């Protein structure tokens, strides 16, 4: 068996653990070879690759990032992209590709399967928005980083009687904000799934600061949006892949809160700190299980599937059911566990 692997889209902690497990199981269990393509689909299109073996993968389990690099490049944005993917597969005599990516990259893998290119998917993103799996690796690490940051912000917020706004990643969904907000005891959690009402936020904070409470932590996902007629979101730039560079909703909120209730409001944007560094033990284990399962799926010829986690078991889900969909937060948890703190 010969398979190619690529890591695609934004990086996340656990990518190296996936690569290591995939290589180990392909080599040691199935007697095969893994070719790593550099920088996501860019390496497939330009044939930039290296042989990945057990020796090359030694010591990478706890390392963040990805030893083979990543990019947001996709074959369908180029007229001859799919042909070039097929050529790379032929040139390296591969049985197929293992695509480690988020919703965009897995949708691309599903399209490639439709065009006759054998692919197995592994779900990756700190945002945890891939359907077909209850969790993606990287998410637990991001939540841990955010909740540790919130713990630190509590003490300084209390010392100054301030409102602290913590902006976390979460482009389309609020999984990180919700989980980190609950874990960190946030006063409010604002998520993209539920447009926020600035008037409600301001009056809730005014009530809170008029009473015995003295500090507030508002966790906001970068993709949170104001309800119609409310604030105006920043004018985000787009990168070369037409991908909006989010970041800044926290400053808009801070200004609006100060203006409405006159309480000093400060902003902390956690940004890429959430994606860097070593994965948690949970993410190392999940990534290792995914990597091993993807090797087995490729060996069994389960092309067109994605490995996922359901009820703590590894399952295979058709990529066609994953493509162009997003797993949003559980609104029941939001309403019952996060919302009640708004009015306290």
Site residues, ligand F6P (CB under 6 A): 10, 102, 125-127, 169-171, 222, 245-246, 275
d(CA 323, CA 23): 26
- The least distance separating ligand F6P from the CB of residue 162, rounded to whole angstroms, comes to 26
- The least distance separating ligand F6P from the CB of residue 215, rounded to whole angstroms, comes to 27
Sign of CA dihedral 167, 106, 135, 197: positive
Q: Which residue is it, tokens 């920088």? A: 39
Pairing type for strands 313-318 and 305-310 reads antiparallel
Task: Find out whether 143 and 121 touch, Cβ atoms under 8 Å.
Answer: no
Rounded to whole angstroms, what are the CA distances from 333 to 40, 175, 339, 340? 35, 11, 9, 11
- Measured from the CB atom, the residue of 111 and 129 that comes closer to ligand F6P is 129
- The least distance separating ligand F6P from the CB of residue 259, rounded to whole angstroms, comes to 27
- Measured from the CB atom, the residue of 4 and 223 that comes closer to ligand F6P is 223
- Measured from the CB atom, the residue of 105 and 216 that comes closer to ligand F6P is 105
Residues with catalytic roles: 127
- The least distance separating ligand F6P from the CB of residue 177, rounded to whole angstroms, comes to 11
Which residue blocks in the chain are alpha helix, DSSP H? 15-24, 41-45, 81-91, 103-114, 139-160, 175-183, 198-210, 249-261, 281-299, 319-322, 331-333
- Measured from the CB atom, the residue of 110 and 202 that comes closer to ligand F6P is 110
Which residues touch 110 (CB under 8 Å, ≥6 apart)?
A: 119, 121, 304, 319, 320, 322, 323
- The least distance separating ligand F6P from the CB of residue 103, rounded to whole angstroms, comes to 8
Sign of CA dihedral 283, 20, 109, 296: negative
- Measured from the CB atom, the residue of 10 and 226 that comes closer to ligand F6P is 10
């Amino acid at each position: 068996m010969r398979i190619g692997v690529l890591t695609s889209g934004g990086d996340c902690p656990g990518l190296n653990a996936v690569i290591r497990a995939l290589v180990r199981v392909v080599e040691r269990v199935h007697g095969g070879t893994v070719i790593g393509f550099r920088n996501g689909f860019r390496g497939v299109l330009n044939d930039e690759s290296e042989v990945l073996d057990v020796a090359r993968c030694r010591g990478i389990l706890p390392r963040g990032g990805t030893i083979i690099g990543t990019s947001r490049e996709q074959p369908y944005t180029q007229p001859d992209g799919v042909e070039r993917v097929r050529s790379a597969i032929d040139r390296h005599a591969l049985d197929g590709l293992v695509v480690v990516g988020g919703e965009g990259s897995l949708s691309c893998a599903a399209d490639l399967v439709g065009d006759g290119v054998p692919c197995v998917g592994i779900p990756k993103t700190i945002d945890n928005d891939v359907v077909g799996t209850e969790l993606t690796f990287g998410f637990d690490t991001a939540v841990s980083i955010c909740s540790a940051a919130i713990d630190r912000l509590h003490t300084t917020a209390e010392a100054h009687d301030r409102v602290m706004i913590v902006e976390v990643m979460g482009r389309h969904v609020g999984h990180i904000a919700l989980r980190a907000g609950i874990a960190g005891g946030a006063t409010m959690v604002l998520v993209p799934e539920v447009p926020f009402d600035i008037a409600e936020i301001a009056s809730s904070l005014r009530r809170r600061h008029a009473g015995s409470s003295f500090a507030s932590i508002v966790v906001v996902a970068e993709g949170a949006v104001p309800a119609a007629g409310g604030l105006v979101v920043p004018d985000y730039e787009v990168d070369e892949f037409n991908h909006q560079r989010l970041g800044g909703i926290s400053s808009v909120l801070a200004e609006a809160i100060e203006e409405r209730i006159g309480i000093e409001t400060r902003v902390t944007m956690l940004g890429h700190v959430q994606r860097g560094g070593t994965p948690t033990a949970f993410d190392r284990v999940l990534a290792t299980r995914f990597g091993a399962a993807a090797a087995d799926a490729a060996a069994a010829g389960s092309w067109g599937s994605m490995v996922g986690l359901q009820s703590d078991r590894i399952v295979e889900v058709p990529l066609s059911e994953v493509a162009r969909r997003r797993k949003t937060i559980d609104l029941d948890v939001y309403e019952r566990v996060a919302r009640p703190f708004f009015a306290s």
